[in-house]
Structures are given as structure tokens and as C-alpha cells.
Amino acid sequence: MNILVTGGSGYIGSHTVVELQNAGHNVVVVDNLSNSNEKSLKRVAEITGKNVDFYEIDIRDFNALDSIVGKYHFDCCIHFAGLKAVGESVQKPLEYYDNNVCGTVNLLKVLQKHNCKNIIFSSSACVYGDPKIIPISEDCPKGNCTNPYGQTKSMIEDIMIDLQKSDSNWNIVLLRYFNPIGAHSSGKIGENPNGIPNNLMPYITQVAVGKREKLNVFGNDYDTVDGTGVRDYIHVVDLARGHVCALQAIEKKCGLEIFNLGTGHGYSVLEVVHAFETANDLKIPYVIQPRRTGDVAVCYSDASKAEKVLNWRAEFDLQDMCRDSWNWQKNNPNGYDD
Ligand code: NAD
Ligand code: WQD
């Protein structure tokens, strides 16, 4: 298939481009590089042996997108482009609504104009809010997102659902990711956060590489195995392969489908710390801090729908994720900046 990948030079996008190219698809990437580096796509080409057509474009720019979508005959769009920092979204809500929601509406208009009515969207487990059912299946009602970032994901889902209801020629897959970590086993591509990492694994790897003194563990008084928060960490390569499998649903003209992409297992913060120490023979100093505002105690998936319908399931375990996260960080202590 010919596939337009928005946000394809970012963390999940670059890993997905590898898997798409390995599966024989032709990929064109658009990204405004607001949170990524074009070097990621050079590294992708080193891994796959295939160049990636790249355009530095903001998805809010109708004319620029129009000319690209008019030039290629895309069978499907995989839409990663968006801002994703939860804390920043509380400070700058308008930027998040403009970039994520307005950007997506613009993209959908351009795709519609060129009759490319197939799209896979990067949604998030955060749309479940504080989940009513654990493990979380796709039937679990959406909850209150505690921040504008999460709201944008929920709003975009609703927009896409309305669009598909209005025109059954649209095939739309909403993928709700749990917590992606890890990196390609080559160590050539990985997560490259700006500034102080918000997320657990990049913080751990920066402690391991000596950039940060110790990990702050946010809360040890939750009702969990050891009091620390529980999440469903998924290897980014498994997640990327989930997108390749989701193309089958598009090909079968699925209408609107929603899938969780997770492993179905929950691990606490301290279990992740200890798994990282064991996998890499390192010590991670940590200190217990108060709970982080907006965090839920437990969040992990029922991933059985994706297995049943898409024949996809996560293959890598937590040790693999810890090993590959560290392999990326230690080989690229400054990310893509040499
Ligand atoms: P990322 O920041 O590495 O990738 C997003 C990419 O989109 C970046 O390369 C950025 O430059 C680009 N981008 C942002 N706004 C743009 C715009 N207006 N026009 C063009 N490009 C733009 O993030 P990621 O972790 O790879 O996440 C990819 C997608 O998955 C995002 O939509 C994110 O919200 C979603 N998601 C991520 C996680 C996670 O934990 N990483 C979890 C759930 C959902
Ligand atoms: C995981 C656990 C923290 C950092 C967020 C977004 C979600 C999605 C993924 C999208 C929690 C604890 C963390 C640290 C810690 N994002 N923690 N010390 O909060 O589940 O999900 O990222 O694009 O939408 O909300 O992930 O990695 O931040 O936290 O103790 O320095 O680790 O409290 O229990 P989270 P996370």
C-alpha cells in the first residue's frame, strides 16, 4: 500500500515506518519536526535499506498537505502528528487544541478532498480516564481526562466517529496505546525527549547514563502490589507492528474500529526499576515523592480484541523493553544530537 505517515520522524512514527517498509509498503512522511529530528529517518533507511520520502510540513497547512496528497495516490494515512506532553498541555491548552484538533480536522479535509478515506489514528489509553473496569477493554466507557492533551485525543476520536457516521466510505481505526517504551534492537532509533523527561522509562535511562541523579517515584501509597502506580508497558516495536496489522482492518473496509494496543500485563514503577536493573546489571537510585497530580493508580489493557480481530499480540516482555531502552540510550546519550 502507499501510506502517508504524519509525525513519522517521531518516536512511534519512526519505528512504524521501519515495520511498514519491512512489510513492503511505500511510505511518505510529513512532519514539522517540532518534536523530532530528520536524522531519525536516515537511521530508518540504514535499518531497512530503503529511503523514506520526507516533507517538512505542518499538518495545519492546508495547501502544503494538499499538494503532497494530490501528488501521491495514498491508500491510507497513519496519523501520529501531535503534541504529547501532558504537563505542557495544562500550561498551553490552546496550542494543544490548535495543533492536535485543528491539525487533524485539516488533515481529514485534505484526505477527503483527494478521496483517501482510510485512516489509522494514534489515540491513547488516557481516554479511559480513571478506568471503571480493569483490565480495560474497548467497551469500557471513556472517562474524564484530567488534562488538555487527553481531551484532544478524546475529541479527535469523537470527530472521527462522527465523520465515519456521515460517510460510510471512511474506514477509521482508533488505536488506544498503553505505555510505549523500548527501542529498535539495532539501537539506531529510539525515544528522544526534549528537556526533563515526563515519562518513566526515559527518566530511568537518563539516570542510568548519568544525566540525572536519581529517579523520583511519584507515590508509594496506591492500592497496588507495592504502593507504586501500575501501567501496561508495551515495546514500541510491538506497537509499530500493531499498525501494520491494523491495515488489514482498513483493507477489509472495517468502518469504524477501536483497538487497545497493550500487553495485558500491569507492572508497578518499582517492578520496572528492578526489571531495568536486572536486564542491564545497573543500579537506579530512587527517592519516593508525593503522588503526581492527575495520575491514576492502575491502568492496563485487555488486549484480546486486537488478537482476535487483527491477529496481533505483543511479543516482547519487560526485560526486552528494558534492554532495548538502555541499548538506545547508551549508544546515543544525546539522542540524535551527536
Ligand atoms: P513524538 O513527539 O515523538 O512524535 C510526534 C511527531 O509529530 C513529532 O515528530 C512531531 O514533530 C510531529 N508533529 C507534532 N505536531 C505536528 C504538526 N502540527 N504537523 C506536523 N508534525 C507534527 O511522539 P510519539 O511518542 O511518537 O507519539 C506519536 C503519537 O502517539 C502522538 O499523537 C501521541 O499523542 C500518541 N501517543 C503517544 C504515547 C506515548 O506514550 N508516546 C501514548 C499514547 C498516544
Ligand atoms: C508511568 C508511571 C508515574 C515518571 C503518560 C500519558 C499518556 C501517554 C503515556 C502520551 C506512573 C510514574 C513517572 C517519573 C514516576 N502519553 N513515574 N516517576 O502517566 O501512565 O502516561 O504517558 O502520549 O497519555 O498520560 O506514563 O511514564 O509518565 O508514568 O514515578 O519520573 O510512572 O507516576 O505511575 P503515564 P508515565
What's the CA gap between 302 and 279, in Å, rounded? 26
Ligand 2, atom 30, lies closest to the CA of: 217
What is the tens place of the pLDDT at every residue in 205-227?
Answer: 999 999 999 999 999 999 999 99
Q: Is 292 in the pocket of ligand 1 (CB under 6 A)?
A: no
Name the pairing type of β-strands 267-268 and 230-231.
antiparallel
Active site residues: 149
Closest Cα to atom 27 of ligand 2: 199
Q: Is 100 in the pocket of ligand 2 (CB under 6 A)?
A: no
What confidence tier does 322 reach under pLDDT thresholds 50, 70, 90?
A: very high
- At residue 337 the predicted structure's pLDDT band, cuts being 50, 70 and 90, is confident
Q: Which ligand is nearest to the CA of 200?
A: 2
- Give the containing element (helix H, strand E) for 233: strand 233-235
Closest ligand, as measured to the CA of 218: 2
Task: Evaluate: CB of 84 within 6 angstroms of ligand 2.
Answer: yes
On average, the pLDDT of the chain sits at 97
**Ligand 1 center to residue 316 CA distance, Å?**
22
Whether 39 is in the pocket of ligand 1, judged by its Cβ within 6 Å, is: no
Task: Say if CB 49 and CB 27 are below 8 A apart.
Answer: no
Set of cell numbers at residue 131: 478506568
Q: Which residue has the cell 479527535?
A: 156
82 lines ligand 1 (CB under 6 A): yes
Q: How confident is the model over 293-303, as pLDDT tens digits? A: 999 999 999 99
**Burial class of 308 by CB neighbour count within 10 A (0 to 12, 13 to 18, 19+):** exposed
Task: Specify the pLDDT at position 132.
Answer: 85
Q: At 94, give phi and psi (nearest 5°).
A: -65, -40
Residue with the smallest CA separation from ligand 1 atom 6 is 7
Q: Give SS3 for 290.
A: coil
Q: Is the CB of 85 under 6 A from ligand 2?
A: no
Distances (CA, A) of 135 to 167, 173, 176, 229, 275: 33, 21, 14, 15, 22
Question: Does the pLDDT at position 265 exceed 90?
Answer: yes
Over residues 66-93, the pLDDT tens digits come to 999 999 999 999 999 999 999 999 999 9
Q: What is the pLDDT of residues 237-255, one digit of tens each?
A: 999 999 999 999 999 999 9
Residue nearest to atom 27 of ligand 1 (CA): 12
Roughly what angle, to the nearest 10 degrees, separates helices 11-22 and 236-251?
A: 60
Please report the pLDDT score of residue 146 as a whole number. 85
Q: How far is the CA of 229 from the centre of ligand 2 (A)?
A: 9
198 touches ligand 2 (CB under 6 Å): yes
- Give mean pLDDT, residues 172-198: 97
Overall average pLDDT of the 170-197 stretch: 97
Inter-residue contact 309 to 245 (CB < 8 Å): no
Atom 14 in ligand 1: residue holding the nearest Cα: 82
Nearest-CA neighbor of 233 among 159, 180, 197, 278? 180
Question: Is pLDDT above 80 for 338?
Answer: no
**CA–CA dist 266, 78 (Å, integer):** 27
Provide the pLDDT for residue 126. Answer: 97
